[in-house]
């Protein structure tokens, strides 16, 4: 559990005497504070602390690492301390929802601080305020200034229907990333899909295997083989580069700056840009839909739920990248989603995905990760609020939930059909309002 070589340890004046059976014996040569870095594949709780004050904090938000904890200790004077922790084992069976729990959820949901108003004009003002709030929460105060991307094409690989570029782009003065961009053959100005993967694919990079059918994120392949350009930025690097940011903020900004490169190409139609994300990548898609006007439509795959549902997750080993602690007190997920209105957005769920699909079969749960499914009534309440947002923006036909019979994955034909129909309207310059709703 204790990680003595981790660079996050702060033990000035503190000696680790022993760490047996989750009981830590420490000796301090003087008054002071310290931090011990721990790693555990199960939730950990603090049982007792004698001789020093102690606090346990999660560190998988990029500060210490995936499945890591920080044990903070404070000695009032020189001496010894004994600190006892306990790992929480998974339950023997799933936890069924109750009427009392659902009633409590509905009461708190109706009274949530971020609830958007009921009039169209007030809703538009609310959106402007909360878009700024979201950017501030994610990116240390708001969207940063652009820096010259200085793009470099590192490699080009030929596939039957498209060419795949590996590009190096700068997103901040001290941050450079590698993204993938496919360009279809024989298409003069292609629509562009920003494709965002989550924990199910390569951590810290863009996954070239997603451009092949059969991969978890093969919506990249599906769109690339059908005449779309597909941009896949790097995501899931769980080392936070800028301490005042969030992981989701860094990944979202990386995607937005990679988009700067893609839409500047003559092969790409900058008026027809959509986004599709799976899992944590779907949360990133919600960020792009809220914060980037160039993204006209989207598919949010297998992630939209409620913060109330997150209490059914065992973290770790499930990783929320810190997002629940960083934004849940300020904005509920339905209100986060509402920032995209009136853009066309399809929310997908696979019925075999017991972690996220409302009303899924509890027998399909992996109890090491999740202890209960989301009740269908809870999802109906959340998505009902999403529908209210699109009604207020005059676009009730531009949002839907699409259930499919698969697992935690994007249903490619449904996503392609949804996004293609809206991109056709853009190309035909139909009388569809795409810009921010102005009341």
pLDDT tens track for 64-99: 998 999 999 999 999 999 999 999 999 999 998 899
Q: Is the dihedral of CA 156, 157, 162, 164 positive or negative?
A: negative
Q: Which residues contact 339 (CB under 8 A, 6 or more apart)?
A: 127, 130, 131, 134, 286, 289, 290, 291
Q: Exposed e or buried b for every residue in 338-376, given b needs 16+ CB within 10 A?
A: bbbbbbbbbbbbbbebbbbbbbbebebbebebbbbbbbe
Q: Are strands 162-172 and 152-158 parallel, antiparallel or unpaired?
A: antiparallel
Task: Yes or no: say if 179 and 169 are a contact pair by the CB < 8 Å rule.
Answer: yes
pLDDT of residue 87: 93
Q: Which token pair is 342? A: 């009136």
Residues 321-349 have a mean pLDDT of 96
Q: CA 116, CA 131: separation in Å to the nearest integer?
A: 12
pLDDT of residue 429: 59
Going by their DSSP bridges, the two strands 345-350 and 399-404 should be labelled as: parallel
pLDDT (average), residues 102-107: 93
Single out the residue of 193, 191, 249, 244 nearest to residue 221, CA to CA. Answer: 193
> Does 436 have pLDDT greater than 60?
no
Does 439 have pLDDT greater than 70?
A: no
Q: 135: pLDDT confidence band, cut at 50, 70 and 90?
A: very high
**Averaged confidence pLDDT in the chain:** 94
Q: How confident is the model at residue 272 (pLDDT cuts 50, 70, 90)?
A: very high
| Region label for 407, one of left (φ > 0), alpha (ψ between -120 and 50) or beta (otherwise) | beta
Q: Which of 44, 62, 64, 63 is nearest to 54 (CA)?
A: 44
Res 435: pLDDT: 46
Lowest mean pLDDT among 23-32, 177-186, 417-426: 417-426
- Report residue 285 as tokens: 């898609």
pLDDT of residue 21: 87
Say how far apart CA 70 and CA 35 lie, in whole Å. Answer: 6
pLDDT of residue 426: 73
* Mean pLDDT of the region 327-331: 95
Q: Report how far residue 275's alpha carbon sits from residue 280's, in angstroms, rounded to the nearest whole number.
A: 13
Mean pLDDT, rounded, for 106-124: 96
- Separation CA 53–CA 83 (nearest Å): 9
pLDDT one-digit tens code per residue, 49-68: 999 999 999 999 999 998 99
Cis? peptide before 367, omega within 30° of 0: no
- State what percent of residues in the chain have pLDDT above 90: 92
Of 77-86, 142-151, 282-291, 429-438, which range is least confident? 429-438
Lowest mean pLDDT among 88-97, 173-182, 330-339, 407-416: 88-97
SS3 of 377-418: the string is HHHHHHHHHHHHHHHHCCCHHHEEEEEECCCCCCCHHHHHHH
- pLDDT for the residue 31: 95
pLDDT of residue 165: 98
**Quick one: pLDDT at residue 425?**
81
Evaluate if residue 298 carries a pLDDT over 80. Answer: yes
The two three-digit tokens of residue 200, written as one number: 């199910």
Residue from 192, 205, 198, 197 nearest 162 by CA:
192
Which of 91-95, 154-158, 341-345 is predicted least confidently?
Answer: 91-95
Phi, psi of 190, rounded to the nearest 5 degrees:
-90, 150
Do 276 and 238 form a contact (C-beta atoms < 8 A)? no
User: pTM here?
Assistant: 0.94
| % of the chain beyond a pLDDT of 70 | 97
pLDDT value at residue 428: 64
């Amino acid at each position: 559990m204790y990680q003595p070589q981790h660079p996050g340890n702060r033990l000035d004046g503190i000696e680790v005497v022993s760490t047996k059976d989750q009981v830590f014996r420490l000796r301090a040569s003087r008054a002071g504070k310290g931090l011990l870095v721990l790693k555990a594949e199960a939730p950990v709780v603090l049982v007792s602390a004698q001789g020093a004050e102690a606090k346990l904090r999660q560190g998988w938000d990029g500060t210490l690492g995936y499945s890591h904890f920080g044990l903070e200790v404070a000695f009032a004077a020189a001496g010894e301390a004994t600190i006892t922790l306990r790992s929480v084992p998974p339950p023997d069976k799933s936890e069924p929802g109750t009427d009392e729990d659902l009633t409590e959820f509905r009461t708190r949901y109706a009274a949530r601080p971020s609830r958007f108003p009921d009039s169209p004009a007030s809703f538009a003002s609310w959106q402007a305020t909360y878009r700024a709030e979201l950017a501030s929460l994610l990116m240390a105060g708001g969207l940063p200034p652009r820096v010259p991307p200085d793009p470099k094409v590192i490699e080009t690989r030929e596939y039957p229907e498209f060419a795949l570029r590996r590009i190096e782009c700068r997103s901040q003065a001290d941050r450079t990333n590698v993204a993938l961009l496919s360009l279809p053959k024989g298409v003069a100005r292609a629509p562009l899909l920003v494709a965002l993967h989550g924990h199910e694919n390569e951590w810290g990079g863009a996954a070239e295997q997603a451009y092949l059918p059969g991969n978890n994120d093969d919506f990249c392949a599906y769109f690339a083989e059908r005449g779309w350009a597909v941009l896949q930025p790097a995501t899931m690097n769980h080392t936070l580069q800028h301490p005042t940011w969030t992981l989701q903020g860094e990944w979202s900004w990386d995607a937005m700056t990679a988009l700067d490169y893609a839409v500047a190409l003559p092969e790409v139609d900058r008026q027809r840009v959509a986004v599709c994300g799976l899992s944590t990548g779907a949360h990133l898609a919600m960020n792009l839909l809220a914060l980037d006007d160039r993204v006209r439509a989207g598919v949010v795959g297998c992630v939209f739920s409620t913060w109330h549902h997150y209490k059914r997750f065992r973290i770790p080993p499930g990783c929320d990248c810190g997002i629940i602690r960083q934004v849940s007190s300020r904005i509920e997920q339905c209100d986060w989603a509402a920032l995209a209105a009136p853009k066309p957005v399809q929310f997908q769920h696979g019925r075999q995905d017991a972690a996220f699909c409302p009303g899924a079969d509890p027998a399909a749960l992996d109890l090491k990760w999740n202890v209960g499914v989301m009740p269908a009534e809870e999802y109906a309440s959340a998505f009902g609020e999403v529908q209210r947002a699109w009604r207020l923006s005059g676009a009730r036909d531009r949002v839907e939930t699409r259930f499919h019979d698969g697992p935690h994955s994007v249903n490619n034909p449904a996503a392609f059909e949804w996004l293609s129909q809206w991109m056709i309207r853009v190309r035909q310059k139909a009388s569809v309002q795409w810009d921010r709703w102005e009341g």
